Amino acid sequence: NAGVTQTPKFQVLKTGQSMTLQCAQDMNHEYMSWYRQDPGMGLRLIHYSVGAGITDQGEVPNGYNVSRSTTEDFPLRLLSAAPSQTSVYFCASRPPGNFEGGYTFGSGTRLTVV
């Protein structure tokens, strides 16, 4: 099925551990982005990419790394997890040039850092 696929759906990490949140889309969307959702704060942009090989920081990039080697995949890496990174993470994508919406969101990854 076409869409944005996020894995895993749930994850518990210990402080200091590393992990990668996976995001894949099969719609040939050039623009992909990662958001985190915290209670009372809406969704905040972490990193985004406008195409393979091009990434940039969003509003809250500290503690996260990204790379974009293919159009389909946009993984988010936590190098040394901290309790402040406990959150729900959403990946989103949209077609090229479509600035007026057309975003597709994944179903989210719920991460707990203990």
Positions in the binding site for other proteins (CB under 8 A): 31, 33, 35, 40-45, 48, 50, 58, 90, 92, 94, 98-101, 103, 105-108
CB 4 within 8 A of CB 108: no
Q: What span, in angstroms and rounded, lies between the C-alpha atoms of 23 and 93?
A: 10
Considering only CA atoms, give the Rg of the chain.
Answer: 13
Least spacing, CB of residue 108 vs other proteins, in Å: 6
Nearest Cα neighbor of 103 from 1, 32, 28 is 32
Is 9 or 83 the residue whose CB approaches other proteins more closely?
Answer: 9
Nearest Cα neighbor of 79 from 69, 95, 90, 67 is 67
Least spacing, CB of residue 48 vs other proteins, in Å: 7
Is 14 or 40 the residue whose CB approaches other proteins more closely?
Answer: 40
Least spacing, CB of residue 80 vs other proteins, in Å: 27
Is 12 or 41 the residue whose CB approaches other proteins more closely?
Answer: 41
CB 4 within 8 A of CB 104: yes
Is 58 or 63 the residue whose CB approaches other proteins more closely?
Answer: 58
Least spacing, CB of residue 34 vs other proteins, in Å: 12
